[in-house]
Amino acid sequence: MKKSKFIGDFSYKKDIGKIRIANEDECKVVVNGAGNVLMMVADGMGGHNKGDFASEKTIEIISEIFKEKKGFINTFFAAQRIQKVIKIANSRIYNIQDKDEDYRGMGTTLALVLLIKNKMITVNCGDSRIYWVKNNDLVQLTEDQTYVNFLLHSGQITEDEVATHPQRHILTNAIGLFPSVSIDIKIHNYNGEKIFLCSDGVYNNIKKKDILNVLNTKLSVEDKAQSLISLGNYNGGSDNMSLIIWEAIND
């Protein structure tokens, strides 16, 4: 018999890495009164043009509106609500950067998971990622919205060329860059799988098999999160890193 509701342990962490002079990543987990769990990772862009402001403000806006909602009638209405809230965040970020030259060009990625009973809603905008552990494999549920991913799928470059391509950091979608935003939203059946969200600073510095190995240890979620941050820095820490680990509790 499938569970109608999951409870779990979670941890979220961010780190500046070893190269950057500022941390433009943000992450957060929020639980509302109905026990719905919202997880978000955002990776700001714009450098001195306030990428850190874009990521922090986007997560703040979505969190506050989510906490006001005591629950959802069903998954369909929850998905509609999430889309509406993200569009609100996009408009606010865009209006700030459009009116103030100091903020011009800022934006942020967004990887978002909403757990409602035995359903999982995923949202992707940019190149932060959402994974879950399925059949002892770390399965990516989002597709990077980047220029190199477009080149790869159109056959213009090979998979081996993606990691070193000079334009690999160019996004084709982000929160706050344009008056409207494209949102990749999906609904999955959820049966208690481990969930992992991260910015590109994590998956670019840690191999997939090493992430999976850490997630499969007997460590607490807090220790797993810290182990991954430490491993990313050990491997060079070439970018800011932010991540979220969620593990359902069997009762």
- Domain ranges within the chain, ordered by starting residue: 8-142+172-246
Task: Identify the CA nearest to 106 among candidates 90, 123, 120.
Answer: 90
Structure letter (DSSP) for residue 23: -
18 three-class SS: coil
Spatial strand order of the sheet with 195-198 comes to: 8-15, 241-248, 195-198, 129-134, 137-140
pLDDT by residue for the chain (251 residues), tens only, comes to 455 567 899 999 999 999 999 999 999 999 988 889 999 999 999 765 689 999 999 999 999 999 887 788 889 999 999 999 999 999 999 999 888 888 888 999 999 999 998 999 999 999 999 999 999 999 999 999 877 777 766 767 767 666 666 667 778 889 998 899 989 999 999 999 999 999 999 999 999 999 999 999 999 999 999 999 999 999 999 999 999 999 998 65
Beta bridge partners of 12: 244
Predicted pLDDT at 204: 92
Half-sphere exposure (CA, 13 Å, Cβ side) for 132? 19
Architecture per CATH, domain 8-142+172-246, reads as: 4-Layer Sandwich (3.60)
85 three-class SS: helix
Q: Are 233 and 206 in contact (CB under 8 A)?
A: no
Predicted pLDDT at 49: 65
**Rounded distance, CA 128 to CA 202, Å?**
9
Structure letter (DSSP) for residue 169: T
Predicted pLDDT at 157: 72
Predicted pLDDT at 70: 77
Task: Identify the CA nearest to 24 among candidates 54, 50, 44, 48.
Answer: 44
Alpha-helical segments (H) within the chain: 51-68, 75-99, 147-153, 159-162, 200-203, 208-215, 221-234
**Rounded distance, CA 221 to CA 196, Å?**
11
Alpha-helical segments (H) within 10-50: none
Q: Are 140 and 129 in contact (CB under 8 A)?
A: yes
- Within 10 angstroms of residue 209's Cβ, the number of other Cβ atoms is 9
Cβ-based burial of 54 (10 A; exposed 0-12, middle 13-18, buried ≥19): buried
